[in-house]
A and B are shown apart, each in its own frame.
Chain A
Amino acid sequence: MPYRKSRSKWMIYVIVTAFALVMIYPLLWMISSSFKPQSIIFRDMGLWPTSFTLENYKAGWRGVSGISFTTFYINTLMIVALAIIGNILTCSMAAYAFSRIDFTLKKTLFAAMLATIMLPYHVVLIPQYMIFHQLGWINTYYPLIVPKFLATDAFFIFLMVQFIRGLPQELDQAAIVDGCNPIQIYKRITLPLLQPALVTTSIFTFIWTWNDFFSQLIYISTPRLFTISLGLRMFLDSEGTSNWGSMFAMSTLSLVPVFLFFIFFQRLIIDGISTSGLKG
């Protein structure tokens, strides 16, 4: 019996590992290219660099117009941090209302929330730009951050609604009996239990904001305010040679913080929720 069990386990490991290698092949190719001199990137087909150089990283970090990637990183981190806080706060509030409170026009407003996810971005882009222009917010970070504090990422509202609906109501009811109002229930009971969803929201907000380029492109025009995405796009151009080496190097580097963020926070999902809270 033990022999058979370990063989099937071994099979799983093989499959899972092979699959993983296939999954990250493009990433491996990009990392390997970032260490090759630019002239041979597209000629040298193998994964292992025949000629190794750090020049792409040095040149790439120098950035554009005298603004290095240090600035881009700091800018992006700041925007991302604020976006995460905004989303966590306001989306959970809205989600709580939609799933635990009964109020007038609930169904209509819920449908409205879903509707905002469904409209293609390119079309609300122009009216939104006009609004921001009227407010004088063009070429600042406000258009990227303020909407996060107004729960405009309805994706997360919907996500949290589904999570909250999966939580048993007994705790809430016990708290009501004890005389708590909805705000207290939200703070003390729902929010802690919502942790996996909050962590998921943080991870996704981080990644999406980190990688988002279109809104950053439209609203930010001074290189000094650029984010990493905009900086990366500067390396490509159709009119002359693109700086592939620098782009691959900087793309690889820009993956590192996102990846670290993911690894750090996924542990919070792993460790699960303590079940004792539910029983008591």
Chain B
Amino acid sequence: MRANRWWLLVAVVLVITTFLSACGGKGGETASEAKTDGQSDNNAQNQSGRTENLVEIRFPWWGNVERHERYNALLDMFEKHHPHIRVIREPLSFNDYWDRMATQTAGGNPPDVLMFTRGQLSEYVSRGAVLALDEFIANGVIDMSDYSETARNIGNYQGTIYMVTIGMSAPATFVNVDLLNRKGIPLPKYEMTWDEFTDYLYEIAPQLGETEDGRKIYPLSDPTSSEAPISAFMRQRGYELFTDDGKSLGFGKEDLYEWFSYWQRLREDGIIPPADIWAEEGGLDWEQGPIATNRIAMEFGRASNNLINLQQVVEDNIDLIRIPTDPSRIKYGEIIMGANMGISAHSKHPEAVAQLINFWLNDLEFNKLYNNDHGITGNERLLKEWDLPPTTREVADHLQDVLATIKPQKQRPPGQTAFFNQLSRSHEEISFGVKSIEQAVEDVFREAEKILK
């Protein structure tokens, strides 16, 4: 009967796959790997049979295939220098990383090595998930003697250092130099005031014309709801985005109104793309993004280290200029962004992770392979010793420039994700003409009150 034949097929498939996986799984791997459950375990035997205090730490990271290969090589290098530490590698893509991080932390099973950007640092730190690093730094286990005061305090939350930077970047305006040259447009200056910048935009708008397939080219991107641009704007007025206690917004309604109005004016005058075009194209990135497709000539307030990866997929030459300055108030407002590394508060082997962090921050060979992947290293000694490739050099110079001229910055408070989501929504509502700017400002402040209390 046919039913029997089909049962047989399933059973055969099962037997074959079990057999294959049993064979494939054992080949060339140590016994402890074959049944790892991600927990650290002491006194495991390594392959040559020496019994040591082999310590295992779990290290998840986000990235694409290239980064996964690179990090594997990096961790191999680390393990060679530290034979008693084994790093269990858990590569992921960006969105998946956060799903798993949240689930594991909630489920009581967080990894040992933590990597956060500005967006998540305060959420996890304020909830006790991250170990304080002051002691490690004080007694030199994590050596930060080659880091400036600012760089050292990137991961400072309410007076204690919880994370250290493994790569910094500053927001810059990306300029498609080749495109401007092709259209015969003079290039913008490296440093311009807001007025100069706005005049420049209006000047070049009619000269930009269309792309090869007939789409209009706009001078600039739409940065209304990105953190770095709006931070810079507020900081130039002397306000941080949030108050020190994190319970309310640090700026006033008039300031937000001015911000929204400025970009709405630019939108209406055709300087930045209108809502429907931006909804479709603004969300795409890299080789599909608006710079690569020549939809915009400049991109405002983007993390400077992105230039390195972007330049690899875009043929046109792209340069960095600074965010517009405000000489009448506080001239420079940029904030430093990038990725940070830390130790889980529940890790069983904090010293091992500390050693990994120390190696990451200080070893030249390591950093050459790491190649400033998440941002420029804050280690000034390394930067002097190292002969950087040209694009990286450009990013590093820009960063040094910014670091030298900005005031210290504050950490985001917990709950801020909801604020930025609301900002994004208000931005859409204004640009699609669904709400007035006054209403949008009210919405943002009301939402902030709800979430930041």
B24 x A241 contact (CB < 8 A): no
Find residues 87-139 in chain B having any chain A CB closer than 8 Å to their own CB. 88-96, 99-100, 103-104, 106-109
B68 x A239 contact (CB < 8 A): no
Query: Which segment of B15-23, B180-188, B223-231, B343-351 sits at the interface?
Result: B15-23
CA distance A271 to B6 in the complex (A): 14
B317 at the interface (CB under 8 A from A): no
CA distance A64 to B72 in the complex (A): 10
Which has the most chain B C-beta neighbours within 10 Å: A126, A130, A136, A240? A240
B20 x A64 contact (CB < 8 A): no
CA distance A78 to B25 in the complex (A): 13
CA distance A74 to B19 in the complex (A): 10
Q: Find B13's partner among A75, A81, A222 (CB 8 Å cutoff).
A: A81
A6 at the interface (CB under 8 A from B): no
B 61-76 binary contact with A (CB < 8 Å = 1; else 0): 0111111110010000
Q: Which residues of A lie under 8 Å from residue B24 when comparing CB positions?
A: 70-71, 74
A235 x B64 contact (CB < 8 A): yes
B400 at the interface (CB under 8 A from A): no
For B1, the closest partner residue in chain A by CB is A192
Find residues 29-74 in chain A having any chain B CB closer than 8 Å to their own CB. 39, 42, 64-66, 70-71, 74
CA distance A137 to B107 in the complex (A): 12
B interface majority secondary structure: helix
CA distance A202 to B90 in the complex (A): 32
A interface majority secondary structure: helix
A278 at the interface (CB under 8 A from B): no
CA distance A242 to B66 in the complex (A): 9
CA distance A84 to B63 in the complex (A): 33
Give A46 Cβ to nearest chain B Cβ, in Å.
14
B2 x A238 contact (CB < 8 A): no
Known: A130-B107, A133-B109, A224-B33. A239 touches B96 (CB 8 A): no
Q: Which residues of A lie under 8 Å from residue B309 when comparing CB positions?
A: 239-241
CA distance A199 to B3 in the complex (A): 9
A138 at the interface (CB under 8 A from B): yes
Q: Find A74's partner among B21, B35, B68, B72 (CB 8 Å cutoff).
A: B21
Known: A224-B33, A240-B67, A241-B286. A234 touches B91 (CB 8 A): yes
B287 at the interface (CB under 8 A from A): yes
B96 x A242 contact (CB < 8 A): no
A243 at the interface (CB under 8 A from B): yes
A139 at the interface (CB under 8 A from B): yes
Find residues 183-237 in chain B having any chain A CB closer than 8 Å to their own CB. none
A74 x B20 contact (CB < 8 A): yes
Give A251 Cβ to nearest chain B Cβ, in Å.
15
Q: Which residues of B lie under 8 Å from residue A217 when comparing CB positions?
A: 92, 96, 99-100
B93 x A42 contact (CB < 8 A): no
CA distance A198 to B7 in the complex (A): 11
CA distance A192 to B2 in the complex (A): 10
B91 x A77 contact (CB < 8 A): no
Q: Find A268's partner among B6, B88, B89 (CB 8 Å cutoff).
A: B6
The residues of B with any CB-CB pair to A shorter than 8 Å are 1-3, 6, 10, 13-14, 17-18, 20-21, 24-25, 29, 33, 35-38, 58, 60, 62-69, 72, 88-96, 99-100, 103-104, 106-109, 285-288, 309, 312-313
A 230-271 binary contact with B (CB < 8 Å = 1; else 0): 000111111111110010000000000000000001001001
A238 x B38 contact (CB < 8 A): no
B10 x A85 contact (CB < 8 A): yes
CA distance A236 to B42 in the complex (A): 35
Which has the most chain B C-beta neighbours within 10 Å: A85, A133, A136, A221? A221
Give B105 Cβ to nearest chain A Cβ, in Å.
10
A211 at the interface (CB under 8 A from B): no
Q: Which residues of A lie under 8 Å from residue B287 when comparing CB positions?
A: 39, 42, 241
Q: Which residues of A lie under 8 Å from residue B14 when comparing CB positions?
A: 78, 81-82, 85
Q: Which residues of B lie under 8 Å from residue A235 when comparing CB positions?
A: 64-65
Q: Which residues of A lie under 8 Å from residue B64 when comparing CB positions?
A: 234-237, 239-243
Q: Which residues of B lie under 8 Å from residue A234 when comparing CB positions?
A: 64-65, 68, 91-93
Q: Find A65's partner among B33, B68, B288 (CB 8 Å cutoff).
A: B68
Q: Which residues of B lie under 8 Å from residue A74 when comparing CB positions?
A: 17, 20-21, 24
A90 at the interface (CB under 8 A from B): no
Apart from A129-B106, A233-B93: 8 A-B pairs, beta carbons within 8 A: A81-B13, A82-B14, A130-B107, A140-B37, A221-B60, A240-B63, A241-B313, A265-B6
A182 at the interface (CB under 8 A from B): no
CA distance A84 to B11 in the complex (A): 11
Give A192 Cβ to nearest chain B Cβ, in Å.
6
Known: A218-B99, A241-B312. A139 touches B6 (CB 8 A): no
Give A163 Cβ to nearest chain B Cβ, in Å.
15
Q: Find A243's partner among B20, B65, B88, B108 (CB 8 Å cutoff).
A: B65
A136 x B68 contact (CB < 8 A): no
A238 x B10 contact (CB < 8 A): no
Known: A65-B69, A234-B91, A235-B64. A84 touches B36 (CB 8 A): no
CA distance A79 to B295 in the complex (A): 46
Which has the most chain A C-beta neighbours within 10 Å: B21, B24, B33? B21
